[in-house]
Amino acid sequence: LAPKPLRGKKLLITAGPTFEPIDPVRGITNHSSGKMGFAIARAAAEAGADVTLVAGPVHLTTPRDVRRIDVQTARQMHDNVMLLAPGQHAFIATAAVADWRPAEMHEHKLKKAEGGVSAPTIAMTENPDILAAVAGLHSPPYCVGFAAESEKLAEHADAKRRRKGIPLIVANLGPATFGRDDNALLLIDEQGQRELPRADKLSLARELIQELSKRL
Ligand code: C5P
């Protein structure tokens, strides 16, 4: 029988992009596939954890024994996460949350001006940082963040870890991993670094869950 190192542990995971509406038919999103977060949810459930996955719009099937909450916007993701976070043992933020959203959502589809010249200007406003908000709770779950950096990977990722006030950050060792089935990761915590060499996302997720179970 497979060992269940996370039996009795509650894990909350975010995955995928967010979608920030401009009007009823348009919006701002990104190329996150959600694959890494879904793989982590699967690995955590295999390890015996009670897993809740808050997912932005993705085209993936829910892993077995995982409770899934579908959301569109960063604010919806934030609100669902903040409701659930206080009872969790760990929070893993893999979602590619939009940093900004259109300041207003137009009730009707924006129309081209008749014979018009001017394109609309879309005013933007900042979205909440979900990970920092969870890390700032009075008695936070063990928080794991992800970082995609284009240069000085370890240095920038560790700076992000400290800035967000989280114990562990996982840096994507490029090239861009969006949509791919494999990845390579660098785990950085107070003790130092550990590289998980390139492998398929499910294998990496299982290794990450092993690392997490040592820390819970
Ligand atoms: O600051 P940056 O977006 O690079 O941080 C990435 C980490 O923070 C990821 O773990 C991501 O899921 C999380 N994050 C979040 N809410 C945001 C932005 C990022 O939870 N608004």
ipTM of this complex prediction, to 2 decimal places: 0.98
Does residue 191 belong to any structural domain of this protein? yes
Q: Which residues are annotated as a binding site?
A: 99, 109, 128-131, 146, 160, 164
- Secondary structure of residue 87 in the 3-state scheme: helix
Angle between the 201-215 and 35-46 helix axes, to the nearest 10 degrees?
Answer: 50
Does residue 201 belong to any structural domain of this protein? yes
On whether the CB atoms of residues 205 and 40 are closer than 8 A, the answer is yes
Measured from the CB, is residue 51 less than 6 Å from ligand 1? no
CA distance 7 to 1: 14
Measured from the CB, is residue 171 less than 6 Å from ligand 1? no
Nearest CA owner, ligand 1 atom 4: 147
Q: How many whole angstroms from 148 Cα to the centroid of ligand 1?
A: 10
Measured from the CB, is residue 54 less than 6 Å from ligand 1? no
Q: Which of 172, 151, 132, 163 is nearest to 14 (CA)?
A: 132
Does residue 184 belong to any structural domain of this protein? yes
Q: What's the whole-number average pLDDT of the chain?
A: 94
Question: Residues 106-133: what's their mean pLDDT?
Answer: 89
CATH code: domain of residue 144? 3.40.50.10300
pLDDT tens for residues 54-69?
Answer: 999 999 999 999 999 9
Does residue 5 belong to any structural domain of this protein? no
Work out how many domains the chain is built from and give that number: 1
Clarify whether 30 is annotated catalytic.
Answer: yes
CA distance 213 to 216: 5
Question: Residues 91-95: what's their mean pLDDT?
Answer: 98
Domain around 40: 10-103+126-215
Does residue 109 belong to any structural domain of this protein? no
Give the pLDDT score at 117.
Answer: 67
Any idea of the CA torsion for 140, 30, 212, 47, to the nearest 10 degrees? 110
CA distances from 175 to 32, 38, 44, 144 (A): 14, 20, 26, 21
Does residue 97 belong to any structural domain of this protein? yes
Does residue 159 belong to any structural domain of this protein? yes
Question: Residues 81-95: what's their mean pLDDT?
Answer: 98
Does residue 114 belong to any structural domain of this protein? no
